[in-house]
Amino acid sequence: MTTPSPKTLRIALMGTRGVPASYSGFETCVEQLGTRLAERGHDVTVYARSHHIDYDEPTYGGMRLIKLPTITNKYLDTIVHSFLSSVHGLNQHYDVVLYFIAGNSLVSWIPRLAGQKTLINVDGLDWRRAKWPTLAKKYIQFAERMAGPLANAVVTDSRVVQRYYQDVYHIPTTYIAYGAELPHRPPGDTLAQLGLKPRHYVLFVGRLVPENCAHHLIEAWQHLDTDMKCVVVGDAAYADDYKKRLHATHDPRVILPGYVFGEGYWELASNAYAFTLTSGVGGTHPALVEAMAFGNCVLVHNTPENLETVGDAALSYDGQMGATSLRQVLQHLLDNPQEVAEYRIRAAAHAQQKYNWDTVTDAYEALFYDVLAGKKVASFETSVSTSS
């Protein structure tokens, strides 16, 4: 049960594309966290990119929505918008400003000029992504290093990433896991439109960029003996060549519907035979947490972050071997439906125990008060950690 807040806070959420969520996990986090903070009586403002959010109302889910422009460029989109948001917020009397993405650390000092406290959720090790050229990777690594000195507090959603910040930069962080919703949906229009049968397809959800390795799944599927479908949900800006490679498959069992959000996404996730996360970079992947919450049998690329997220509630494949290893594990799952059913139960129980948005909101709220009291990390991290 949530304890009463000692003080109503003015909170700004910056660094994402904004709400309603329609792109990635950080936008989902902003929507879920911000809505709950607003329900608790806090004054919550979300900064959105005007070229991305076409929602026209001034509020959403109890949150005030401020849309600002940016430079629509792969390298400048995020940091320019975060800079403009930070400057705009100087006269807004926020108590705390929560940024997302390590690259935004270099503007996290701006709100402090007006006496506002800043926190940053650094996500995974973004410089490892193949999309970034050498100079961009160096910038992200520098931004990681500066997160500690420039922000009042640093948040990680993965113990692996938390250890990295401590070991490499000697930056203390607060671990707060990601949350998951459980809006189970029966088969409906989305499955019908895509020609899918319940429990007769394997699902991938994520941005279609090289480091998310959707090609592992598509290449593996082409060598499987099954009449099941493979559904690859997602899209991405600035990744046209890679998307063309994925769409070049001639296997009629592979379906690439683009982005699917809301009811359609819930329907797909509720009725899959299994869920495969092939991502090779990142912290706690929201789609993975949500797949477990939906009660899916889950199969992941064996990165330390993915293995930490799933615990013993999922299977993994060797990402170094790629499609070859994935094909072997997928064929095993296709041949053993009883084992799939057992992993569904384990995944749902794991998600229910570890990943809960109300608990996540408790954690952020507690950290906000600690930061306002002058602390760099949560007073008692176990009290704001959602790990068991």
Q: Is residue 216 part of a domain?
A: yes
Predicted pLDDT of residue 384: 46
**CB of 315 closer than 8 Å to CB of 333:** yes
Q: Is residue 2 part of a domain?
A: no
Q: Is residue 332 part of a domain?
A: yes
Query: Same domain for 342 and 372?
Result: no
What is the chain's alpha carbon radius of gyration, rounded to the nearest angstrom?
20
The reply to whether omega before 4 is within 30° of 0 (cis) is: no
Query: Same domain for 153 and 195?
Result: no
What's the pTM value of the predicted model, to 2 decimals? 0.77
More reliable by pLDDT, 26 or 273: 273
Q: Is residue 301 part of a domain?
A: yes
Query: Within 13 Å and on the Cβ side, how many CA atoms surround 203?
Result: 35
Coil, strand or helix at 364: helix
- Report the CATH number at residue 250: 3.40.50.2000
Query: Same domain for 134 and 196?
Result: no
More reliable by pLDDT, 269 or 132: 269
Q: Is residue 5 part of a domain?
A: no
**How many separate domains does the chain show?**
2
Query: Same domain for 104 and 31?
Result: yes
pLDDT value at 388 more than 60: no
Query: Same domain for 348 and 201?
Result: yes
- Tell me: the pLDDT tens digits for 241-261? 999 999 999 999 999 999 998
Lowest mean pLDDT among 47-56, 281-290, 313-322: 281-290
Mean pLDDT over 276-284 rounds to 88
Lowest mean pLDDT among 121-130, 326-335, 353-362, 378-387: 378-387
Query: Same domain for 215 and 128?
Result: no
CA distance 63 to 11: 10
Domain residues for 329? 189-354
Beta strands in the chain (DSSP E): 10-14, 43-49, 59-60, 63-68, 96-100, 117-121, 153-156, 174-175, 201-205, 229-233, 254-258, 274-277, 298-301, 315-317
- Tell me: the pLDDT tens digits for 157-205? 889 899 999 999 999 999 998 888 667 899 999 999 999 999 999 999 9
CA distance 139 to 206: 25
Indicate the angle between helix axes 240-247 and 214-221, nearest 10 degrees. Answer: 10
Shortest CA distance to 357 belongs to which of 143, 60, 86, 157? Answer: 157
- Tell me: the pLDDT tens digits for 11-22? 999 999 999 987
